[in-house]
Chain A
Amino acid sequence: MIELRNITIRAGQFLLENVCLKAEAGKFHVLLGPSGSGKTLLLETIAGLIMPTSGEIYLSEKLIHKIPSENRNISYLPQDNALFPNKNVFENIAFGLKLKKQFSNATIEEKVNDMASKLNVSHLLSRSVINLSGGEQQRVALARALVVNTPILLLDEPTSSLHESMQEDFCLLLKKLQKEYKLTVLMTTHHKDSAFLVADSLHFVDKGTIRLSANIQTIYQSLLPKNIAHLLGVSNFFTLSTANQNNQFYCEELKTTFAFTQKTIENTTFSIGVKPENIRVIKEEDIHNKYPNRFVAEVEEMLFKENDTLVLLKVPETSFRLKMQLTTYNQKKLNISVGKLLHCKIKEEYISFVY
């Protein structure tokens, strides 16, 4: 377990203040946050490259924040990979093993070959690192970090330099390696999809502090700060206020009443958020059925993505605008077009509570 207790780090004008984090051993933890929120600084502090101004870092209940980087037993893969440009691929991967002085040359060669084979870089071993592609550099840097066999791996935005098509594959590779080596991984990213692909738990970093830590399965059920909800793809926000005693709440923006059956809400006024893909259209033949949490909106505009359509809706009475996303197949099937009046519904389980 990695535990940060009230860590404060000052780096020039930037301040990370009273950061607390518990990262369970053997799990994949993702630090999700916008650029400039302090994620890299946090990783560098855990790696021992930056000394915190105050606070404590524990590794398996052992205080480590005064232990030099080389003795922490933590591997770190920086955003730009930082492969040593004067060494070839083999020498880069073997660097940490040679420092240990406990392995013979034959053992080092065997370990490097094994790791290179796992990361599919065996054919590159004699090549200079300067001429490698971004993806190849990343796998070599990962091999260099993994071959020293540390229990903790820190990854700083590992997918940011990869082409979109390669990001998913690299995330799957990371997840596979994490399970195989039973690693505790702490990865930073500002990319929600990458985070959800690999994470066991998410830690939201924003403006120099960790705002929320949550399990990946229950994240949308947590009470979320609005900006974090936005980062998670929640882009429709409404305010609800008590309508009657039956756990029903009125939404002025949508001119409708929301009913909650799975949760008892004590607040009289609160905010909710909904992802565009969780707003559903009620089919014309079902319009007269009684659905909870339904509203009427007019299609104002449609934007076509690869296989999806983003529909911009406007509530006629209030001019409140919201986004709905559905597959282009469904958009055509439901004959949705600009100017059409739609009956929509939001399922209770897809509602996030925000503040």
Chain B
Amino acid sequence: MSLKKVVISSATGILFLYAMLIASTFYFFDTKELHKAFTDERVLHAIWISVIAACVATIMAVLLAVPSAYALSRYSFKLKSTVDVFLELPMIVSPAALGAILLIFFSTPLGLLIRDNVLDVVYTFSGIVLAQFITVLGICTRLMKAVFDEIPVRYENIARTLGASPRQAFFKISLPLAKKGLLSAIILTWAKAVGEFGATITVAGSMAMKTETLPTAIFMKLSMADIKGTVMIILILFGISMSLLIFTRYLLRNKQYD
């Protein structure tokens, strides 16, 4: 078999693998159950909590990731390679371990001080946001660094010779050029935050109508052997994520710098 056929088979194999798994959920599809899921106050609350927490976590991550990614892309500084390694921490450490680390931190004197005087994150909505934020921060920064890496530094250099300060060159040239890529990174970060489970359940638990998100609701339904209920929530979560991915593709369909 030619190399071309082998690699194309490999790529289409991935599609079939995921498609088969998704299709298998439809084996238990039931319109009545779907209607029930959309009218169930607990499920609606989980959707609401998931969406809001993911939005807050994404905003926090973006605020830190944009300047950090730009620094990693453009400048040489001490600890740069260490920062680069730590961006992968949420990818190499399991989410449950990350959640446990957060719980341990909030059990130290400093953590307790924060819980008593600033914000209590254990078994609260803030805990969900924090768990999602910690999980997505690294990937968000990594995605945004790749976006800035793609933009040639010569545009900023030319802007400088035309009278722009480094700040003006960033805001008037680099940021507008990065707009599409950054938006795509934001959407993927948000999708990752919505689907976060391990760290969230460890830090915030799964209290119905309080800290239950869509992924934790799936876990709870499954633990009660409610397969049809589980499938409906999976499909809701899948629908939200796929809509976002399609929207991202749509945004990036045109020329690079539109």
- A96 sits at the interface (CB 8 A): yes
* Chain A hits for B26, CB < 8 A: none
- Against B, the Cβ 8 Å flags (1 = close, 0 = not) of A77-89 are 0101010111000
B138-186 contacts to A, CB under 8 A, are 152, 154-155, 157-165, 168, 172-173, 176-177
The 8 Å CB contact of A70, one of B164, B172, B173, is: B164
- B226 sits at the interface (CB 8 A): no
* Chain A hits for B161, CB < 8 A: 47-49, 69-70, 72, 74-76, 145
Dominant SS among interface residues on chain B: helix
* Chain A hits for B152, CB < 8 A: 82
Taking CB as reference atom, which chain A residue is nearest B165? A70
- A68 sits at the interface (CB 8 A): yes
The 8 Å CB contact of B155, one of A47, A68, A74, A82, is: A82
Assembly CA distance A100 to B163 (angstroms): 7
User: How many residues on chain B are close to A (CB under 8 Å)?
Assistant: 21
Taking CB as reference atom, which chain A residue is nearest B179? A86
- B5 sits at the interface (CB 8 A): no
Assembly CA distance A68 to B101 (angstroms): 45
The 8 Å CB contact of A85, one of B160, B163, B164, B256, is: B256
Taking CB as reference atom, which chain A residue is nearest B168? A99
The 8 Å CB contact of B157, one of A49, A74, A75, A148, is: A49
Assembly CA distance A72 to B164 (angstroms): 11
- A63 sits at the interface (CB 8 A): no
Beyond A85-B256, A85-B257, whether A95 also contacts B162 by CB under 8 A is yes
- A130 sits at the interface (CB 8 A): yes
- A144 sits at the interface (CB 8 A): yes
* Chain B hits for A84, CB < 8 A: 155, 158-159, 173, 177
Q: What is the minimal beta-carbon distance from B189 to any residue of chain A, in angstroms? A: 23
CB of B163 within 8 A of CB of A148, answer yes
- Against B, the Cβ 8 Å flags (1 = close, 0 = not) of A50-82 are 000000000000000000111010111010101
B244-258 contacts to A, CB under 8 A, are 255-258
Most buried by B among A69, A78, A145, A148: A69
* Chain A hits for B163, CB < 8 A: 70, 96, 99-100, 148
Q: What is the minimal beta-carbon distance from B236 to any residue of chain A, in angstroms? A: 37
16 pairs, CB–CB < 8 Å, chain A vs chain B:
A47-B157, A49-B157, A49-B161, A69-B160, A70-B160, A70-B162, A76-B158, A78-B154, A78-B157, A82-B154, A82-B157, A84-B158, A85-B256, A95-B172, A99-B168, A145-B161
The interface of chain A, by Cβ under 8 A from chain B, is: 44, 47-49, 68-70, 72, 74-76, 78, 80, 82, 84-86, 95-96, 99-100, 130, 144-145, 148
